[in-house]
Amino acid sequence: MPDLAFSAGDRVIVRDETPSHHHRTPWYIKARRGRVIEFIGMYLDSETRAHGGSGLPELPMYRVEFDQTELWPDYAESPDDKLWIDLYEHWLEPV
Amino acid sequence: MSEGKDRGGFYDTGWRPSDDLHRDEDGRPHDHPGLQEDVVLGVRASRALAMHELLVEKGVIGSGEVDDAIERWSERVPSNGASLVAKAWTDPEFKARLLEHPKETVVESGFVPEHNADIIVLENTSEVQHMVVCTLCSCYPTALLGPPPDWYKSFSYRSRAVTEPRAVMAEFGLELEDDVEVRVVDSNSELRFLVLPRRPDGTEGWSEERLAALVTRDSMIGVSGALEPGKD
């Protein structure tokens, strides 16, 4: 088992950064607060693979849940609605 | 520039299997006036043919490689996913395994995930409705659902699925009760998500085959439910 920074239930905030290289953290969750659902495994780093790298070492990835009302202040549907997304550990900070 | 638009979906370049054209043994098409009259190639198809010819000539790909790839694509159809859903509806042990060890179960069932991607199966219930989108591009479980539909790749779906999912579902004919939690799943990583829709009422005792006909592609993306009996 890798040394993990987060576990299920942890409150996290997504880093508010926009690196110039390929990354798969969409803008709408940056600087937003969510909860870790679970650690889902170690995955090759798509941020280096996209630029010809090997993607190694593999990085921890978590499934993170956000309240839709946290993402969209004007969210007009149900306040209980959620968004799930998978994020590498280095995009997350503890709240 | 509409030619080719609605014929084959995402990966369609206008290329068609080689039996559409006469070829030499090395796979290169040759002139055949009688045939060419009813094979009118548009700009994209002509470009694809020219590129194919060059790639074969330079030895980048083998002459049958494109046909093999098309063959593999033709095996990726929504009925693959539907067969898994129908089996899960009728076999609780299979369903438990599909939810707990999705990739292994998919592979055991004879399907090959594209790029060896991990597969996650999300179960819709009376309390939770999962709906899948890829806001960054068009990630999609093609081994189980075939190529994604054009709307899945559209800017409109990719933005509205996250900002007003219930409105999108309503447009697909699904009106959710307010107490059903919506979970939009943004497929941004190396994983692919298959939604296991709810089994419709009134299908007790149905065979897997009959149930599978109720399982639409859209219900496995989560924008709608499975078909109701009598509407299949």
Please check the confidence at residue A4 and state whether its pLDDT lies above 80: yes
Distance CA B52, CA B56 (A): 6
Whole-complex ipTM: 0.95
**What is the spatial distance between Cα B150 and Cα B138, in angstroms, rounded to a whole number?**
10
Tally C-beta pairs within 8 A across A and B.
62
The full set of domain ranges for chain B reads 18-74, 78-221
Of B163, B188, B190, which is closest to A85 when you measure between CB atoms?
Answer: B188
Q: What angle do CA B152, A40, A66 make, to 5 degrees?
A: 60
Give the pLDDT confidence of B40-63 residue by residue, as tens digits. 788 888 999 999 999 999 999 998
Read off the tokens for B59: 């030895």
- CB distance B171 to B151 below 8 Å: no
Confirm whether B46 is a catalytic residue: no
Q: Please give the Cα distance from B34 to B102 (Å, whole number).
A: 51
Residue B33 has pLDDT above 80, yes or no: no
- DSSP-H helix ranges across B75-130: 78-90, 92-100, 102-108
Task: Please pick, among B63, B83, B139, B224, the residue that the annotation labels catalytic.
Answer: B139
- Pick from B9-18, B127-136, B185-194 the range whose average pLDDT is largest: B127-136
- B55-91 tens-digit pLDDT: 999 999 998 888 888 888 888 999 999 999 999 999 9
Shortest CA distance from A71: residue in chain B: B163
CA distance B168 to B81: 22
Above 70 in pLDDT, residue B32? no
More confident residue, B22 or A42: A42
Q: Which residues is B191 bridged to in the sheet?
A: B118
* pLDDT interval class at B113 (50, 70, 90): confident
* pLDDT at B2 > cutoff 80: no
pLDDT at residue B231 greater than cutoff 80: no
pLDDT for res B39? 66
Helix (H, G, I), strand (E, B) or coil at B128: strand
Q: Measured between alpha carbons, how far is B118 from A40 in angstroms, rounded to an integer?
A: 11
pLDDT given for residue B29 in this prediction: 55
How close, in Å, is residue B160 to chain A by CA atoms? Answer: 11
More confident residue, A67 or B3: A67
* CATH topology (fold) of B78-221: Nitrile Hydratase; Chain A (3.90.330)
Non-local (6+) Cβ contacts of A30 within 8 A are A14, A15, A16, A17, A18
Cis peptide preceding A57, ω within 30 of 0: yes
Chain B positions in Cβ-Cβ contact with residue A76 (cut-off 8 Å):
164
Residue B120 clears pLDDT 60, i.e. is over it: yes
- For chain B, list residues whose CB is within 8 angstroms of any CB belonging to chain A: 118, 135-136, 162-167, 178, 181-186, 188-191
CATH number of the A11-94 domain: 2.30.30.50
Does B11 score more than 60 pLDDT?
no
Residue of A18, A47, A86 to mutate, testing the B interface (most B Cβ within 10 Å of its Cβ): A86
pLDDT at B115: 81
Tell me the pLDDT band of B26, cut-offs 50, 70 and 90. Answer: low
- For position B8, what pLDDT does the model report? 40
Q: Are A22 and A88 in contact (CB under 8 A)?
A: no
Determine contact, residues B112/B128, Cβ cutoff 8 Å: no
Average pLDDT of the residues in B157-170: 97
Over 70: is that where the pLDDT of B23 sits?
A: no
Predicted local distance difference test score (pLDDT) of residue A30: 97
- Report the gap between the CA of A78 and the closest CA in chain B (Å): 7
Tell me phi and psi for residue B90, to 5 degrees: -105, -15
What is the residue extent of each domain of chain A? 11-94
pLDDT tens for residues B172-197? 999 999 999 999 999 987 899 999 99
